[in-house]
Amino acid sequence: MNDPRPGSVGEPAAPPEATVPGTSGETVLPEGEGWTRLDPKSVVAVSSLVALLAIPPLAIMALSGAERMAVLVTAGGWLLIVLGVCITSWVSWHFTRYRITGHRFELRAGRLSRSHKSIPRDRIRSVDLTANPVHRVFGLSVVKIGTGQQAGDSEIKLDAVTTPRAEALRHELLRTPSTADTAAESHTASVPAAETLSSIRPAWFGYGALTVSLAAVVWGAIASAIGSFADVIMNLGLDDAVLGDVVSLPVWISVTAGVLGALLVGALGAVLLSLEMWWGFTLTREQDSMLRVRRGLLTVRSLSLEERRLRGVELVEPMLLRWVGGARLNAVATGLSDQQSGNRQPDRAALMPPAPREEVRRVSGVALGTDPPVPSRTLVRHPFAALRRRLFRATAVGVLVGTALVLAATVTGWLIPLAWALAIAALLIAWAFGLESYWNLGHELLARHLLARSGVGVRRTVALERDGIIGWRVEQTIFQRPAGLVTISATTAAGSGAYAVRDVAATDGLTVAEEAVPNLLTPFLERDG
């Protein structure tokens, strides 16, 4: 029987805590007391997941006509892997324990190589819950406890505990010690009421079809599986029939059908991925000043974000999504950068799925406790010199591409008129992108936020809290200097770390910086006279 964890709901209280001299009243449990193991079903869950991974390769080998001995050897290899994982998982479970004291969360793991991690409870900034399909079958959840720092040791993972225990841990760890003490005295742990800020609408999944990044994931998965599918098709004798029908068609029909088929498959796959990622999405505000995002169809994810860590929001509008009035919303918060602990987690800061722009703007204002900080009206336009720079770059790219097309057609003597038409089209498209890039430029200074917008393929509008700006970075390239332009970036301990106002007039940029955070940039400016 494991020792109960102190302060948990429905469990007996731990033995009295001992006060350690010199720790400012901090209390710790006596050595060996209050430690709790992970749920033993986690061993079965991990082993089952590895066993499921063995099914696709074995099925492909069987369908592709592989020799029986090769299939048996592969199955035996997978069986050994499953047994090894089962033994390793049991050892890890047996020697892993955690406990919560009045001021710290502690985790001990390992037998040969031991580790003891300890996080002060007042440093805990997030408790995220994740449950993949196998975990959900066994009623388990993975708990990730973070301090909001970028260091690799700033996050502790419990893999895994029962879902009710995970929810109880989330509420307990995100309370301040004083609140936790009050709850312990009353021997209750009430779940705080939550205010729903936004929830998914079925029509929003249609925006997923216009998300190129999701379609690219689908195309990449199909490309990686083409070799295996080709073997299966050849062994079933379908290759001759399919190739014969394709060869008999005119080239333009085959190419058009291929392009349309790829677009259709990509769009359909993007919608399905969007369903998996955002099914059941809700954004709520809890009474303990926490924003919570819950989403997921197969793998259920729950992210809790402390509102005092929120330094702003970023409205993201990919080109196709922008054309139909859609956008996404990301949080600019400490500990939620795109690259954390060496692993890219681009969706960890997402507050909303692709949705109508007006709804995204409304939620951005509610999350920041102000009017929509991302206005629909035009921001302050940048100088005409910024447009000249973009048209010059667009002309250079268009001429380069057009020249390459014409030279290739001239050398081969094939479709020279078509090459000239494509060259002119490339130049016009490059100019269109240059104009779009300029029209997307803008900035504005609000009472509490600095707005900055830029981008063409993906337009990004960031609303950054002025109180969260800790510095400025002023850059001027040799191409910007003759035009009197600068790029001024507001640095902050959140998100990507810096957000730029691009190609703004030098005087205007410095004025915005000085007004946004008075006296921060002034000591570094040189004044005439």
Report, in angstroms and rounded to the nearest whole number, the Rg of the chain calculated over CA atoms: 29
pLDDT, greater one: 94 or 243: 94
Alpha-carbon span 445 to 466, nearest angstrom = 9
Alpha-carbon span 29 to 18, nearest angstrom = 6
Of 10, 358, 308, nearest to 187 by C-alpha is 10
Please check the confidence at residue 359 and state whether its pLDDT lies above 70: yes
- Using an 8 Å Cβ cutoff, are 145 and 173 in contact? yes
Q: Which alpha helices (H) appear in 39-112, and where do they start and end?
A: 41-53, 55-63, 68-94
Please check the confidence at residue 150 and state whether its pLDDT lies above 60: no
Query: Would you state the pLDDT for residue 511?
Result: 92
Query: Would you state the pLDDT for residue 241?
Result: 54
The arithmetic mean of pLDDT across residues 403-409, rounded, is 89
Query: Would you state the pLDDT for residue 337?
Result: 55
Please check the confidence at residue 522 and state whether its pLDDT lies above 60: yes
The arithmetic mean of pLDDT across residues 85-91, rounded, is 92
**pTM of the predicted model as reported, rounded to 2 decimal places:** 0.78
Query: Would you state the pLDDT for residue 29?
Result: 44
What are the tens digits of pLDDT across the range 64-87?
677 788 888 888 988 999 999 999
Q: How many CA atoms lie within 13 A of 117 on its CB side?
A: 18
Please check the confidence at residue 513 and state whether its pLDDT lies above 70: yes
Query: Would you state the pLDDT for residue 139?
Result: 94
The arithmetic mean of pLDDT across residues 125-136, rounded, is 89
Query: Would you state the pLDDT for residue 136?
Result: 93
For residue 205, name the pLDDT band (cuts at 50, 70, 90).
very high
DSSP letter at 315? E
* Burial of 2 per CB tally in 10 Å (0-12, 13-18, 19+): exposed
Please check the confidence at residue 182 and state whether its pLDDT lies above 90: no
Mean pLDDT, all residues of the chain: 81
What are the tens digits of pLDDT across the range 453-492?
999 989 999 999 999 999 999 999 999 999 999 999 999 9
- Using an 8 Å Cβ cutoff, are 7 and 184 in contact? yes
pLDDT, greater one: 48 or 287: 48
Query: Would you state the pLDDT for residue 184?
Result: 44
Residue 208 is inside which H or E element, if any?
A: none
- Name the CA dihedral angle for 182, 183, 184, 185, rounded to a multiple of 10 degrees: 50
For residue 2, name the pLDDT band (cuts at 50, 70, 90).
very low
E strands, 132-205, are 140-146, 155-162, 194-199
Query: Would you state the pLDDT for residue 342?
Result: 40
For residue 149, name the pLDDT band (cuts at 50, 70, 90).
low
For residue 25, name the pLDDT band (cuts at 50, 70, 90).
very low
For residue 251, name the pLDDT band (cuts at 50, 70, 90).
low
